[in-house]
Amino acid sequence: MKFDQPATTNPIDQLKVIGYPHDRIDGPLKTTGHAPYAYERHDIVADPAYGFILGSAIAKGRIASIDTGAALAAPGVLKVVTWKEAGPLAKSKNHTAHLLAGPEVEHYDQAVAIVVADSFENARAAAKLVRIDYQREPGRFDLSQQVGRAPPKGASSGEGSGSEPVDRVGDFEAAYASAPVKIDRSYSTPDQSHSMMEPHATLAVWNGDRLTVWTSNQMIAWAVRDLSETLKIPKENVRVVSTYVGGGFGAKLWIRSDAVMAALAARAAGRPVKVALTRPQIMNNTTHRPATVQRIRLGAGHDGKITAIAHESWSGDLPGGKPETSVSQTKLLYAGANRLTADYLATLDLPEGNAMRAPGEAPGLMALEVAMDEMAEALGQDPIAFRILNDTQVDPEKPGRAFSHRNLIGCLELGADRFGWSRRNPRPGQVRAGRWLVGMGVAAGFRNNLLMKSAARVEVTRDGRVVVSTDMTDIGTGSYTIIAQTAAEMLGVPMETVTVNLGDSSFPASSGSGGQWGGNNSTAGVYAACQKMRDEVAQKLGSNSADIHFEGGQVQMGDRRIPLAEAAGGMSVEDAIEYGDLGKTYQQSTFAGHFVEVGVDAFTGEVRVRRMLAVCAAGRILNPKSARSQVIGAMTMGVGAALMEDAVVDKRIGYFVNHDLAEYHVPVHADIPHQEVIFLDETDPISSPMKAKGVGELGLCGVGAAVSNAVYNATGVRVRDYPITLDKLIERLPEVA
């Protein structure tokens, strides 16, 4: 189905099933421990061998020699595979670092070997017996040394957002120089780890020259492609299955070493092998969100209208890598005639930087939306009024191009009302509740809506069940449920009648999960397949689609009512949603107003979030329960980004030092208060037949800045270097004798 005109009224608009906060259909399996994740497929392979990956002990250099003799001789060991034994291997174009090192080492904990043994215990112990001599070379590990020197580099984030190296509109320098009110601020965000709860894991099985991997991956078709490229085997010989994925947040957009090493190990050992990365390996063996240094300059008239806006960002990656596109939202969020945005890329020999939830916008808004707060203060304006004043309904770089639908103002105004913004004291450091200095902060949330082709197969069984199959993944997003809702709505059957099969490359290729595009696109693909089913049923019944209704498990044609099982039993159709250029003609984005109240301990500087509210404008909400969960989860991640998450680089050794969950802090229960989410009641017919957009990343975009602005309002101390930990506040807090 080609989608190249805005949607008109369609069966989804009935809203009998869509839009209803249905419990997740995978809930009973997940809450009882019966949902099988990749490492748990005892049903597939009863007796796999166990692989354990050994990572590089140096950040950069080469392996001078490697001796696997002791490991091979250790009890239970079946094979040891290094680059020497791996056979032909390539690097897929989607990977910056090789997934198996040797003899070159590109980063710390890069896989150098896998030990295969009859038990996990034996494999893990034997991995320590591999003897390696390294030639270490000096590496570049310090982003701050390259700020101001690194070359401009544009890129797609790989998850939707993107930027040209340098974008200019009007004459920024002249406008900024003549602006009566201006600020020039620098901010930094640290490296962050996805830290999803399920470690990367793969079970690999070879059948002749055909490989099947049960793995934990967000993008099945990409996984097939990249395994094929990496192992140099035809795509047709690769099957990838990810039925349940224990979180990804971007870490599982692309296959990682577990998949490749499991495949190599299984081939070498001649039997199925399963591998999971250990928690400490996840930080340095896989990818992370790169640190940024950002400079923002804003110039405005006394009336508060922005006349000049510049956002520049520096980040680093391995040679051949990509920048964190932190400036992308600044092209679109606010009006202003004179603009400059630029991303600069430093070369760093740290582990591979890559997409993490809302790449670009997440760190970009942590800077931009604090700068907006600082500018409002410089102007003596309320931060919400200042944002509203500078709203735009068109792409500021291309004023002829409108937003498909944009209600940022509605988010901010409703949020202000619900959150009690009028009670905020604009003078910082004034509100005290016992030991706590209390403050409120706001930030705008912004994230683009991405359109991706997505296919599905729909079958009606002879007993009237509807079976939907697509390689879409459910990474906690609720895909199983909203896909069932879509099929139920389209074919007029109860939810219980629908079976959803996901995450298998033998199913039609979907959009996959990433960039908050999964919900809208994968359901639009299911819509397309269901529409095709409706057309074929109509045709079979000698009617046309316009005169036929699907309702209550029956097909209705004039006075005739035929059970769906009878009308369509045994039929199977496949179709995809494919997009025209509505994504180019219109700017499609999602919007939020994030509101946060914090308390800062007047003595210790500890920051604790007291209240949170997000108001989101993101098109039709397909399932308000799972959508709300996506948003509160993202808000939680935003609290982590603002207050604690920091993958610390040892700049001498070149690795992330705090590489486990005890030392890399993500929020725990006690950090998170009750959270409110409001979805504006809207549809976006330009987005897809579902009229929906994404929310999963929007919920994160802006949260960090709202926390930061609240900390400033509470204390009068502006910390521009994330995370806002107490050591950065303590010496600037008021005396407490």
Partner 1 sequence: MKPFTYERATSPAGAAAAAATAPGAKFIAGGTNLLDLMKLQVETPSHLIDVNGLGFDRIEPTPEGGLRVGALVRNTDLAADPRVRRDYAVLSRALLAGASGQLRNKATTAGNLLQRTRCPYFYDTNQACNKRRPGSGCAAIGGFTRGHAVVGASEQCIATHPSDMAVAMRVLDVTVETVRPDGSTRAIPIADFHRLPGDTPDVETALTKGELITAVVLPKPVGGRQTYAKVRDRASYAFALISIAAVIEPDGAGRVALGGVAHKPWRVAAADAALPQGAKAVTERLFADAHPTTENRFKLPLVERTLAATLAEHKAEAA
Partner 2 sequence: MYEAVDAELSRRGVLAVGAASMAVSVAPAVGSARPAPELQPSTAHVAFEVNGERQALELDTRTTLLDALREHLHLTGSKKGCDHGQCGACTVIVDGRRINSCLTLAVMHEGSRVTTIEGLGSPGRLNPMQAAFVKHDGYQCGYCTPGQICSAVAVLDEIRAGIPSHVSADLNAPSATTSDELRERMSGNICRCGAYSNIIKAMSEVAEASGTPA
**Residues with catalytic roles:** 697
Measured from the CB atom, is 479 or 554 closer to partner 2?
A: 479
Task: Give the rounded distance of the alpha carbon of 157 from its chain centre.
Answer: 11
The smaller minimum CB distance to partner 1, of residues 234 and 734, is found at: 734
| Using rule CB under 8 A, residue 662 touches partner 1 | yes
Which residues within the stretch 585-604 sit at the binding site for partner 1 (CB under 8 A)? 601, 603-604
In sequence order, the 6+-apart residues with CB closer than 8 A to the CB of 27 are: none
Q: Label residue 683 exposed, middle or buried (CB < 10 Å: 0-12, 13-18, 19+).
A: middle
In 10 A of CB 207, how many CB atoms? 10
Binding mask 42-61 for partner 2 (x = CB under 8 A): x--------------xx--x
Of residues 530-569, those binding partner 2 (CB under 8 A): none
Nearer to partner 1, 556 or 658 (CB): 658
- Among residue numbers 663 through 692, which ones bind partner 1 (CB under 8 A)? 663, 665, 667-671
Kindly provide the residue ranges of all beta strands, DSSP E only, lying in 450-509, ordered along the sequence.
454-460, 466-469, 498-501
Binders in 41-70 for partner 1, by CB under 8 A: 57
| Window 628-657: residues binding partner 2 (CB under 8 A) | 628-630, 632-637, 652-653
CB of 240 to partner 2, least distance (A): 18
Site for partner 2 in 706-725 (CB under 8 A): none
Q: How many chain residues bind partner 2 (CB under 8 A)?
A: 89
Among partner 1, partner 2, none, the one that 730 touches (CB under a kind-dependent 5 to 8 A) is partner 1
Interface region with partner 2, contact rule CB under 8 A, candidates 89-97, 122-130, 262-270, 439-447: 122-130
Outline where 586-676 has alpha helix (H): 624-643
Between 101 and 490, whose beta carbon lies closer to partner 2?
101
Contact of residue 635 among partner 2, partner 1, none (CB under 5-8 Å per partner type):
partner 2
Shortest distance in whole angstroms from residue 205 CB to partner 2: 17
How many of the other CB atoms lie within 10 Å of CB of 422?
A: 8
From the list partner 2, partner 1, none, which binds 544 (C-beta under 5 to 8 Å, kind-based)? none
Distance CA 505, CA 519 (A): 18
- Closest approach, Cβ 648 to partner 1, in A, equals 5
User: How far is 491 from 553, CA to CA, in rounded Å?
Assistant: 8
Using the rule CB under 8 A, is 725 a contact of partner 1?
yes
Q: Please name the residues in contact with 692: beta carbons below 8 A apart, sequence gap of 6 or more.
A: 519, 520, 523, 618, 619, 620, 621, 622, 683, 684
Which member of 383, 396, 667, 723 binds partner 2 (CB under 8 A)?
Answer: 667
The letter for the amino acid at 347 is T
> Mask 259-298, x = binds partner 2 (CB under 8 A)?
-----------------x-xx-------------------
Q: How many binding residues for partner 1 (CB under 8 A)?
A: 40
Report the alpha-carbon distance of residue 216 to residue 593 in Å, rounded.
33
Cβ neighbour number for residue 465 with a 10 Å cutoff: 16
Can you say whether the dihedral through the CA atoms of 29, 31, 32, 37 is positive or negative? positive
Smaller CB distance to partner 2: residue 105 or 340? Answer: 105
| Closer residue to partner 1 (CB): 364 or 667 | 667
- What DSSP letter does each residue of 272-292 carry, written as one string? -EEEE--HHHHHHHS-BBPPE
Q: Which long-range contacts (CB under 8 A, 24 or more apart) does 732-737 make?
A: 733/437, 733/600, 733/602, 733/605, 734/429, 734/602, 736/602, 736/603
Strands (E), 44-165: 49-55, 61-67, 77-81, 104-105, 111-117, 131-136, 155-156, 162-163
What residues between 260 and 289 interact with partner 1 by CB under 8 A?
A: 280
Q: How far is the CB of 734 from partner 1 (least distance, A)?
A: 10
From the list 89-97, 133-141, 227-235, 559-567, the region that binds partner 2 by CB under 8 A is 133-141
* Interacting partner of 658 out of partner 2, partner 1, none (Cβ under 5 to 8 A depending on kind): partner 1
Question: What CA–CA distance (Å, rounded) separates 613 from 596?
Answer: 7
**What Cα–Cα distance (Å) separates residue 377 from each residue in 205, 268, 363, 703, 718?**
61, 64, 22, 19, 12
Closest to 642 (Cα-Cα) out of 354, 362, 304: 362
Among 672, 680, 726, 730, binds partner 2 (CB under 8 A): 672
Quote the tokens at residue 692: 């929906």
Closer residue to partner 1, CB minimum distance, 30 or 608:
608
Please calculate the CA angle 407-410-415 and round it to the nearest 5 degrees: 135
* Using rule CB under 8 A, residue 2 touches partner 2: no
Residue appearing with tokens 């549809």:
683
Residue 133 engages partner 1 in binding (rule: CB under 8 A): no
- Least Å distance, CB 189 to partner 2, is 19
Q: Given the rule CB under 8 A, which of 119-127, 179-187, 376-384, 514-522 is the region that contacts partner 1?
A: 119-127
Cα distance between the two ends of the chain: 70
Our CB check for partner 1 shows the closer of 423 and 669 to be: 669
Candidate residues 546, 662, 736, 737; the one interacting with partner 2 per rule CB under 8 A: 662
Instruction: Figure out which of the listed residues 7, 81, 125, 253 binds partner 2, where binding follows CB under 8 A.
Output: 125
Assess contact for 334 and 396: CB atoms under 8 A. Answer: yes
638-657 positions binding partner 1, by CB under 8 A: 643-644, 648, 650, 652-653, 657
Find the binder of partner 1 among 32, 400, 422, 737 (CB under 8 A): 737
Partner from partner 1, partner 2, none contacting 604, C-beta within 5 to 8 A by type = partner 1
In 3D space, the residue among 465, 683, 563, 478 whose CA is nearest the CA of residue 12 turns out to be 683
Does 391 participate in binding partner 1 (rule CB under 8 A)? no
| Residue 592 site contact among partner 1, partner 2, none (CB < 5 to 8 Å, cut-off depends on kind) | none
- The stretch among 207-215, 396-404, 457-465, 624-632 that binds partner 2 (CB under 8 A) is 624-632
23 binds, among partner 1, partner 2, none (CB under 5 to 8 A by kind): partner 2
Q: Going residue by residue from 83 to 102, which x/- string records binding to partner 2, judged by CB under 8 A?
A: --------------------
Return the SS3 of 729: helix
Q: Give the total residue count for the chain.
A: 737
The nearer residue to partner 1, 166 or 661, going by C-beta atoms, is 661
Using the minimum distance from each CB to partner 2, give the nearer residue, 303 or 660: 660
What secondary structure does DSSP assign to 641-653, as a single string? HHHT----EETTT
The two tokens of residue 356 are 């993490």
Cα–Cα distance measured from residue 726 to residue 644, given in angstroms and rounded to the nearest whole number: 10
| Strands 49-55, 273-276: pairing kind | parallel
Site for partner 2 in 455-484 (CB under 8 A): 475-478
Q: Is 572 in the site for partner 1 (CB under 8 A)?
A: no
Q: Which residues, numbered 161-200, are part of the site for partner 2 (CB under 8 A)?
A: 194-199
Examine residue 432 and tell whether it contacts partner 1 (CB under 8 A).
no
Amino acid at 116: V
DSSP letter at 460 equals: E
Q: Which residue has the tokens 């998949």?
A: 259
Tokens 């490229």 found at: 229
Which of partner 1, partner 2, none is residue 133 near (CB under 5 to 8 Å by kind)? Answer: partner 2
Query: Is 604 near partner 2 (CB under 8 A)?
Result: no
Q: Binding residues for partner 1, per CB under 8 A? A: 57, 75, 121, 124-125, 128, 280, 435, 601, 603-606, 608, 643-644, 648, 650, 652-653, 657-660, 662-663, 665, 667-671, 725-727, 730-731, 733, 736-737
